[in-house]
Structure 1
Amino acid sequence: MSIKLRELIRSIRAAKTAAEERAVIARECALIRTAFKEDDNQFRHRNVAKLLFIHMMGYPTHFGQMECLKLIASSKFAEKRVGYLGLTQLLDENTDVLMLVTNSVKHDMNHENQYVNGLALCALGNIGSNEMCRALAREVENMMASPNPYLRKKAALCAMRIVRKVDEIEDKFNGKIGNLLEDRHHGVLLAGCSLLTTLLEVNPSYIKEFRRHIPSLVRALRNMVTSGYSSAAEYDIAGITDPFLQAKILRLLRIFGERNVDASDEMNDILAQVATNTEGTKNTGNSILYECVLTIMSIEAESGLRVLGINILGRFLQSRDNNIRYVALATLQRVVNVDQQVMQRHRNTIIDCLKDADISIRKRALDVTYSLIDETNIKSMTKELLNYLLVAETDFKEELCSKLCMAVDKFSPNRQWQIDTLIKIMCLGGSYVKEEQREKFCRVVAATPELHAYTVTKLYANMRESLSQEALVHVGVWCLGEFGDLLVSGNAVGPDDQPISVSSGDVLDLLYDVVRKPPSAEKAAATHCLVAAALIKLVTRCPSEAEKIKKLLRRFDASLHVDLQQRSCEFLELLHSEWDPHRAGILDRMPVPEKEIGGADSRDRPAPVGGAPTGGKDLLDLNDLLDGPAAPSATSNVVSTPAYPASGGGGDLLDLLDGGPPTAPAPTMGGDGLLDMLGVPPAPAASQDAPPMVAFEKNGLKITFFPRKDADGSTTVLAKFANNLNVPMTNFVFEAAVPKYITLTMQPATGQVLPPQTDLVTQTMRCVNSTHGEKGLLMKLRIGYVCNGTPVQEMGQIGGFPLGY
């Protein structure tokens, strides 16, 4: 005996465990299957209704799909309604069974009962496939002209689905839209606006054609705005006449008025009426005002109307409702460039939002505040944000410091104020200043020779007070290494413009304190690397402290951190007497960057501070290298070698790529380790069987291949990498992939940095063609490097090698 739906719900809710619930549902599904097999017509609609509830709980109900089709074909409205409900819930547009219901839907569209027509239209509008929409488009078009407003509304909404699904008949309903927009029935008008909005989104070229309906939309909106409130009115909600229709018309006007002066002039008056006559004490009115402001800011509105819109957002900011304030801040962020002068009036209110208890409000307020900063208010706004940095929560400081640094870099009135402000930021939130901003600060300092002494003195004084801020310590250590001679020269001036005396021993004592108490224990090795670089630089700046520097460097030569150990060993070797003639040149100050710092793109990044390693993706994944249309059909071999193999394992890259032909190991450094590190690349072979081939040339990088046929039948290709830019390319990685019939072996490149305007870096490849030249040599290339702080990844392909290679 089939139980009722409410009894099933009661049984499921009575289950105390998930297992009991599954048992109840399994038992009921078994009974429903039995009823379906017995073709029980009496309780079919009840069983499908229970399946709908089971489906909502996430259990499989596919076995009930055909029963939905049987219910749709029923002559009883109650059964037909359950059938259509099951159709829209248990099936989707990709279900094969759906094509069987097309005739039933078409039949119900021509039914004499309007509610049966509505069920068919609703089903088509929700899950209609491309084929169903194309087959039933004519019926929907006819129903849009029905004298019944209920059917006109349903048909217009169903037409939205057809417009989205069937491209070739999107203009089928164009002639009906005008009548829908002139309709006095609000439901039909709302459906017409929705249909027109969808049509314009699918095909924006229709915007010009449908601008002729702007007067009708303006008239309908004016009637709703000027009509008095009546609690008995059908469409009144909280004192607003049909807010849903008003919002839909405002969005449609926004589309028509964008970048069109004439259309904007037609709607300026009604937008002013909506903005001034709508009561904003409740969310209903606020929603209308919000849509109105977005429309005002999107069209070519008059300046006075724009001021009115921004003032409405200013009132939103003073609301106690966090949702309204968030919406106001989000909108201000979108329109901040419309009228900066008017936006400045609400600056204090926006800054107050930085102290809100809601983190989302604070984050949005920070974005708007940053957008308000310009050359005229940079000093006052920075002061406000620095005061807030003192009390900001920990999880908010990183973003705040980032915004502050970007604003200072972009709008600083002079270089000294820029340096002073950045030092303040690092003193207050140095642990939250990103690596890029620290490097940018060092670039600014290096490019300002007249402030070298001032900067190093100020950093020294702040480091003496506290070593807890990581960014302050890192840039301070770098500056001590670069400009320490200016600090100990006897001409240093303190913050109060009074001469101060700093000895070489004081500087080394401070560096020793940094070694003993690094600001971050997790990043102690990175800090020690910077200290080691600063110490070796101070050898030429404070020669009297050479022995003390050597003693400090020996603290690191047995470090477990490989990079730090290698640095210290190389630096200690540089202190040997044989390097005396060359030491001053090697340890000279870093060259001043060629690009102007104050107006430079924020993506331009300097070399790593003090030579410290920066994060980057040295290993490039070649899994998709041969996925392009020009790739050979055969399975390909992939070989890649970084310019310098990573320390700590020789097979990491090959393991990553599941093995492959072995590559020759990098040459080990002998007694002349520094010369090997700075080694000159080998010259290309003098004899070549084939002329040079340009394998890749883009964005200043040129790769030339010099192929040579060897006596054993293999091909040796020497790749020469030329950097034609005025800035170096760092972290350079060259990778190649070849078809399966070719075996490729690659030697390590002679360098990982391509100096500007040179072609010194080379890499040798050896190819063995198993077809003995019957199939041509083909390579796909992937190149990765960092230029101006921006990672670049390029793809290329080269063929056309001489026959027999």
Structure 2
Amino acid sequence: MSDSKYFQTTKKGEIHELKEELLSQREDKKKEAVKKVIAAMTVGKDVSMLFTHVLNCMQTHNLELKKLVYLYVMNYAKNHPDRAILAVNTFQKDASDPNPLIRALAVRTMGCIRVDNITEHLCEPLRFCLKDQDPYVRKTAAVCVAKLYDVNPELVESQGFLAILNDMLGDSNPMVVANAVAALTEIDEVSKHEIFRINQNNLNKLLAALQATTEWGQIFILNALCKYNPESSQEAESVCERVTPRLQHANSAVVLSSIKVLMKYMNSIHNNDVVRALCKKMAPPLVTLLSKEPEIQFLGLRNINLIVQKRPEVLQYEMKVFFCKYNDPIYVKMEKLEIMIMLANEKNIEEVLLEFKEYATEVDVEFVRKAVRAIGRCAIKIDRASEKCIQVLLDLITTKVNYVVQEAIIVIKDIFRKYPNKYEGVIATLCANLESLDEPEAKASMIWIIGEYAERIDNAHELLNSFLEGFKDENSQVQLQLLTSIVKLFLKRPKDAQQMVQTVLNLSTQESDNPDLRDRGFVYWRLLATNFEAAKAIVLSEKPLITDSTSHLEDSLLNELINNISTLASVYHKPPETFVTKLKGLKRGGLRGVRDEDEDEEPEYVDDDNNNISNTMSPQNSQQGYGQQQQQQPQGPQKTGSLIDLDLSDLNFGSPVNNNQMTGGYGQPQQQQQQSPNDLSFLGGGGGRGGPSTPPKVNKVLVYGKEPNHQNIVISGAFTRFNGRISLELNLLNTSQISMQKFKIQFYQNYFGITPADPILSCGSLEPNQQTDISIPINTTGASSPQMNPVIDMCIMVLPSQERFYFKITFPFNCLLTENGPLDKESYLSMWKSIPELNERSRDIPVRVQFNPDSILKSLASKNIFEIVRKRVGNQEEISFLSCKTENSIYILLELTFNYQTNICRCVSKTTSPDIMALFEHTLEFLINNPY
């Protein structure tokens, strides 16, 4: 009878009966009893009360019984740590048993028992087993070191086990070498400093073991080889030559790991003939992956996606293997489609387009849409193929299939942006299909085409008017595009669109609840009302050509993922530390090696490579009128949660004001004085430690002036921070004919609770044509409004005795940062761990000034963003950990990684108030790029 009988124990008094059987003198009865105990334990019964009785069965020479008892002890040792210590003598005795299987079993079991009392007694038996004569014992002991390190790292380091493991890399048995590599790799991944380093001495030992070990041992060794940077092209060629035979292995993991090594080492090979030969050898095994079951195909395709982005020449002649089969799952088809677009070139574009055209007639709507978009992406990618792509799209439009027509119009819009004034002949065909449009993106694309080529479409005003009739019911994307296109039409053909532009501006500014639409409407209204030619130059300006980069990763991320081929990272297309808990806080984002800073214990924290909100603050895209929508698109996907879309378009970037020549006002274009795009005075003064002893010069910005509706007074000002206090520096110029007195100031309710310390201004009487400077102390203890989005424009009202003046003025976020923001390392670590991972953000900040981390960090310190510790990582990167604190006691923790190769500063941040982080990141980018 099979062992299944042991799982049918449900009778009463079973525990008592088991106790008696465990105490039997007959070994066969003991073995039967232990089997029943293990069966009960397996199905979830609590048999921990038998711990002592089972423990007594350890003293046996029967290997099967000993394995069963060890299995029981591993499971219940945590529940009975005091009793588990009784097994130590048996473990130590078995660790020196003549039978190597028992020696290995003893040390393996001791390593799996995660009880401190046991691990303390494991050291000596483990030391002997690491140097055992039998390779099976040595390889088991090597893995046991990694298990022990997970329980007690200090003990492993103090006992010198890491050095023994490194010595085992030269062992004569390949399996011992493979297990030593596996153990060192696992320890290195969770250690705070580098444990496993490959050099020229152990490199050859690993390569020798690679040929003789099992397939899983080969995977461990191949992954370890990726840690080594060859010192010369000849050395890289030699390693590749010895790894290449692994490409013919039957195990897909071995094949992909071998490709990962080749991809890494090819970067160091200078001989182009050798590189081409290696690329040619990599193609067949990758193609073989696509003949397996769909799940393996998908994993292979995700890895091939990365390989093709890095080196398209590997599979440039294998296009046909990526053609979709009718029975392929949709997830496989989508991946094949992406790779076909990457591999498309002038030589194979015709057969690729034929395939895409065929896909566009399938029944799967989602796949059809992707296929039509793929045709457009090929047109954008390959200039000479654009005409063929247009013809294919026109053929698809003639099918009159609703969703095919709409996708075709969307991609043709992008083709027009790539090739302006080249394919306008197809516009008539597009206009004939207006009635089939019911999706917002397709409508917006068609409206864009009509507006962009309004001078060539005779009935453009009629077409746009047909969309305008249902303006209120349209999606916001369509409304925004319709507003812009009607303004374009008016600028090109004023007589045809005069009534239409008035209607759409009224609908946008007066009857819409969408703030983006209202702001854009106001911008267009003021442009058209102020200067028609200026409006024409701005709205009809030449647009930058677009490129297709939808499937391409950043170089830094791509290189990292290439080094993680054959792992989940290459499937998710995310760095491993973003989804593997034990890796978070180490390597890319951690404080590895901070021990070099004379610290006994270094902090570690999570570095989750999340997505960005990447509205870029720069003089070019920031100098816009009040409410104008930014045209720059986000650089990447946005992290979900309570993050906000920060609109920086309201910023008034003014040059220092000459009070004798001030013109213009809040929300109005200035007529006499042009603002300097390089003067970003809206961010205010410094105020950090080590700042100036005298108040810094404040560049006041004109906020209220001599416009028709802004009479009697001219106001300029700016917020600043000095000696730990925030103040609003105002200049008032009385341009009326009467005296002004009894000035008061009132702030509208805002997110940060910013209010004047005293609402009554101490400026006395202001006579006609007289001006005065006022410094108004600011409090941050007023009535805040957390339900509002954090904004950087403060709405303020000045009330002299005669009338009221309303204006907006930019509040620089760094004025909120206090001088007591620095933390010690322990507090930093504790705070980082206490903040939820959902509050973590990451963003790449391009450094446009001289790439000098010392000067940048010194400048940040003057703005109250304080460095805690810094670490150099190789020759390419330097990591700095910083903290700052706002007036309302919100801490912001930062990790800045300066990459000397790309001149990129990667910012990873955490705070308890994520709503403010978009604003803080943009301020940080400005401070980094404007250190003075």
Structure 1: tracts of 5 or more residues without a match? 13-23, 222-241, 279-283, 489-501, 624-639, 646-674, 681-690, 697-701, 721-732, 753-758, 770-775, 784-789, 798-805
In the aligned structure 2, how far is the partner of 1:762 from the partner of 1:95? Answer: 64
Q: Are 1:363 and 2:358 matched, yes or no?
A: no
Could you tell me how far 1:210 is from its partner in structure 2? 1.0
- Which of 590, 595, 605 is the aligned partner of 2:539? 590
Partner of 1:475: 445
Give the structure 2 partner of residue 509 of structure 1: 462
Given that 1:536 and 1:587 are in contact with CA atoms closer than 8 Å, whether structure 2 keeps it comes out as no
Measure the CA separation in 2 of the matches of 1:80 and 1:132: 18
What is the match of residue 126 of structure 1?
112
1:119–1:290 Cα change, 3 Å: same
Distance 1:53 1:567, change over 3 A: same
Q: Confirm or deny: 8 A CA contact 2:687 2:722 kept in the other structure.
A: no
Aligned counterpart for 1:395 among listed residues 341, 359, 366: 366
Shift of 1:266: 4.4
CA deviation profile, 1:141-169 (whole Å, cap 9, x unmatched): 32233334443343233234346643453
Q: Which residue of 2 aligns with 1:794?
A: 920
- Return the alpha-carbon distance in structure 2 between the equivalents of residues 295 and 244 of structure 1: 16
| Partners of 1:622 and 1:532 in 2: CA distance | 28
* 1:391 aligned counterpart, secondary structure: coil
Distance of 1:734 and 1:420 partners within structure 2: 55
Deviation at 1:474, TM superposition (A): 0.6
Aligned to 2:164: 173
CA distance in 1, matches of 2:41, 2:640: 47
The CA distance in 2 between the partners of 1:375 and 1:218, in whole Å, is 42
2:71 to 85, 88, 94: 85
1:461 aligned to 431, 445, 452, which one?
431
Hey, what does 2:55 align to over in structure 1? 70
| 1:144 alignment partner in structure 2 | 130
Closer, same or farther: CA 197–487 of 1 in aligned 2, 3 Å: same
Alignment CA distance shift 1:160-1:751 (3 Å)? same
Q: Which residue of 1 aligns with 2:810?
A: 762
Partner of 2:321: 349
For residue 366 of structure 2, give the secondary structure of its aligned residue in structure 1.
helix
User: Could you say what secondary structure the match of 2:137 adopts?
Assistant: helix
8 Å CA contact 1:110, 1:117 repeated in 2: yes
The CA deviation at 1:343 is 1.8
Q: CA separation in 1, counterparts of 2:750 and 2:202?
A: 55
- Output the CA distance in 2 between the equivalents of 1:179 and 1:44: 43
Give the aligned partner of residue 706 of structure 1: 720
- What does 1:545-694 align with in structure 2 at a 5 Å threshold? 545=496, 549=500, 562-563=513-514, 590=539, 592=541, 597=546, 693-694=685-686
- Please state how far the C-alpha of 1:362 moved relative to its aligned partner: 1.9
Which structure is richer in relative contact order (CA contacts within 8 A, separation 6 or more)? 2
Compared CA separation, residues 514 and 293, structure 1 to 2 (3 A): same
- 1:333 is aligned to 2:305: yes
* Deviation by residue 1:720-745 (Cα, 9 ceiling, x = unmatched): 9xxxxxxxxxxxx996489xx96134
Partners in 2 of 1:249 and 1:403 — Cα distance? Answer: 40
CA distance in 1 between counterparts of 2:360 and 2:203 reads 50
Would you say the 8 A contact 2:282–2:314 is kept in 1?
yes
Q: CA deviation at 1:214?
A: 4.7
* 1:191-221: CA deviation from partner (whole Å, max 9, x where unpaired): 4564566577663424433124156436647
CA contact (8 A) 2:222 2:257 kept: yes
Question: In 2, Cα distance between the equivalents of 1:678 and 1:424?
Answer: 50
Distance 1:610 1:692 in 2: 24
State the partner residue of 2:201. 209
Q: Determine the C-alpha separation between the residues in 1 that align with 2:186 and 2:523.
A: 72
User: Aligned with 1:706: secondary structure?
Assistant: strand
Is the alpha carbon distance of 1:305 and 1:676 closer, same or farther for their aligned partners in structure 2, counting shifts above 3 Å? closer
Structure 2 match to 1:743: 781
The one-letter code matched in structure 2 to 1:70 is L
Between 106-115 and 258-267, report the one with greater CA deviation: 258-267
Assess if the C-alpha contact under 8 Å between 1:307 and 1:342 holds in 2: yes
TM-score, length of structure 1 as denominator length: 0.58
Q: Distance in 2 between matches of 1:366 and 1:93?
A: 54
Q: Structure 1 residues 469 and 46 mapped into 2: Cα distance closer, same or farther (>3 Å)?
A: same
Judging by fraction of residues, say which structure has more helix: 1
Q: What is the CA–CA distance in structure 1 between the aligned matches of 2:216 and 2:204, rounded to whole Å? A: 23
The question of 1:313 aligning with 2:285 is answered: yes
Query: Is it true that 1:487 corresponds to 2:440 in the alignment?
Result: no
Q: 1:763 to 1:80 in 2, by over 3 A?
A: same
CA contact (8 A) 1:574 1:583 kept: no
Change (3 A) 1:572 1:111: closer
Q: Secondary structure of 2:539's match? A: coil
The amino acid across from 1:592 in the alignment is: S
Post-superposition offset of 1:123: 1.4
Give 1:590 shift: 1.6
Code of the aligned partner of 1:475 = S
| In 2: Cα distance, 1:325 partner to 1:414 partner | 30
- Aligned partner letter, 2:318: H
Q: Structure 2: which amino acid aligns with 1:213?
A: K
Tell me: CA distance 1:396–1:95, structure 2 relative to 1, closer, same or farther (3 Å).
Answer: farther
User: What whole-Å deviation, never above 9, does each CA across 1:30-70 have from its counterpart, x for those lacking one?
Assistant: x64x78999974599877755654554567x4855954883
Q: Does the residue aligned with 1:743 lie in a helix, a strand or coil? A: coil
C-alpha separation in 2, matches of 1:614 and 1:414: 27
What are the ranges of 5 or more consecutive residues in structure 2 without an aligned counterpart?
553-613, 651-664, 671-682, 689-698, 701-717, 732-748, 755-778, 786-790, 796-806, 819-884, 893-906, 908-916, 925-932
Determine the structure 1 residue equivalent to 2:95.
109
Q: CA deviation at 1:641?
A: 12
CA distance in 2, matches of 1:69, 1:641: 65
State how far apart, in whole Å, the 2-side matches of 1:617 and 1:370 are.
25
Cα distance in 2 for residues equivalent to 1:443 and 1:609: 22
Residue 118 of structure 1 deviates from its aligned partner by 3.0
Deviations 1:251-278 (A, max 9, x none): 56666686764554545555555557x6
Cα displacement string for residues 208-256 of structure 1 (whole angstroms, at most 9, x for unaligned residues):
33124156436647xxxxxxxxxxxxxxxxxxxx655565665566666
Would the alpha carbon gap of residues 256 and 566 (structure 1) be closer, same or farther in structure 2, given more than 3 Å must change?
A: closer
Contact 2:505/2:525 (CA < 8 Å) preserved in 1? no
For the Cα contact (< 8 Å) 1:170–1:199, is it kept in 2? no
The amino acid across from 2:163 in the alignment is K
Distance, in Å, in 2 between the alignment partners of 1:303 and 1:764 is 53
- In structure 2, relative to structure 1, the CA distance for the partners of 1:588 and 1:274 (3 Å cut) is closer
CA contact (8 A) 1:289 1:312 kept: no
Q: Provide Cα deviations, 1:555-605, integer angstroms capped at 9, x if missing partner.
A: 969999633998599789969xx9877677657752637866559999899
**Cα RMSD (Å):** 6.5
Q: Tell me the SS of whatever aligns to 2:782.
A: strand
Contact 1:143 1:155 in 2 (8 A): yes
Q: Secondary structure at the match of 2:514?
A: helix
C-alpha change, 1:89 and 1:433, in structure 2 (3 Å) is farther
Aligned-residue offset at 1:316? 0.7
Q: 2:84 and 2:446 mapped to 1: Cα distance?
A: 71
Change in 2 beyond 3 A, CA 1:782/1:463 = farther
SS at match of 1:744: coil
Q: What's the TM-score once normalised by structure 2's chain length?
A: 0.51
Identity %: 13
Conserved 8 A contact 1:314-1:346: no
**Conserved 8 A contact 2:111-2:147:** yes
CA deviation digits over 1:479-514, x for unaligned, max 9? 434552x125xxxxxxxxxxxxx2xxx334323444
CA contact (8 A) 2:223 2:257 kept: yes
CA offset at residue 346 of structure 1?
0.5
Q: CA deviation at 1:288?
A: 5.6
Q: CA 1:370 to 1:71, structure 2 compared with 1: closer, same or farther past 3 Å?
A: farther
